[in-house]
């Protein structure tokens, strides 16, 4: 067995063994994106990315059921319940009975939640400008389209 070379202290690691993995590259991009989010929205507004997403989704849709949120976010319903509980405790969201189905709950933003959602949505419009600066407008559009395609494929499908 060939012995791998020793890493030099303080030197960057050779990443060639993992560069072929799209998941590795996506993870590195996600780390950079999360840093930007944390600096502009997470820390100043005390929101996690998924909480931000829920607030902005409700702002744009008026209301949603927990089931709709779970499906949209790809989360188990129990996780959505915990997230909703946190946002309700912060008086950003409220639960109300569905007027058409008394067993169902609709989720709506409170006035405080709607105001926060509008503020963070405005911040989100420009917060990634520095992160995306190396890309041309065409490359940004292409990246968005490609990511959309990856999200909407069957991840378990056999390679074609």
- Percentage of the residues of the chain whose pLDDT score is greater than 90: 78
Domain ranges of the chain: 25-151
Q: 25-151 has which fold?
A: Arc Repressor Mutant, subunit A (1.10.10)
Contact assessment for residue 55 and residue 153, using Cβ atoms and an 8 Å cutoff: no
- Least reliable range by pLDDT among 2-16, 65-79, 80-94, 146-160: 146-160
pLDDT tens digits, 117-148: 999 999 999 999 999 999 999 999 999 999 99
Q: Which has the higher per-residue pLDDT, 104 or 157?
A: 104
pLDDT tens digits, 43-62: 999 999 999 999 999 999 99
Mean pLDDT across the chain: 90
Both tokens of 106, joined, read 């609709």
pLDDT number for residue 1: 67
| CA nearest to 93, candidates 76, 78, 105, 103 | 105
């Amino acid at each position: 067995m060939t012995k791998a070379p020793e890493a030099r202290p303080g030197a960057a690691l050779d990443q060639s063994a993992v560069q072929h993995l799209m998941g590795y590259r996506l993870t590195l991009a996600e780390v950079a994106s999360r840093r930007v989010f944390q600096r502009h929205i997470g820390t100043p507004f005390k929101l996690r990315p998924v909480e931000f997403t829920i607030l902005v989704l409700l702002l744009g849709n008026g209301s949603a059921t927990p089931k709709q949120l779970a499906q949209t976010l790809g989360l188990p319903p129990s996780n959505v319940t915990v997230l909703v509980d946190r946002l309700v405790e912060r008086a950003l969201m409220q639960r109300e009975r569905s007027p058409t189905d008394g067993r169902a709950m609709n989720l709506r933003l409170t006035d405080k939640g709607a105001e926060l959602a509008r503020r963070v949505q405005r911040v989100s419009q420009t917060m990634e400008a520095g992160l995306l600066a190396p890309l041309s407008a065409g490359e940004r559009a292409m990246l968005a389209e490609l990511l959309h395609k990856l999200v909407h494929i069957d991840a378990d499908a056999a390679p074609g």
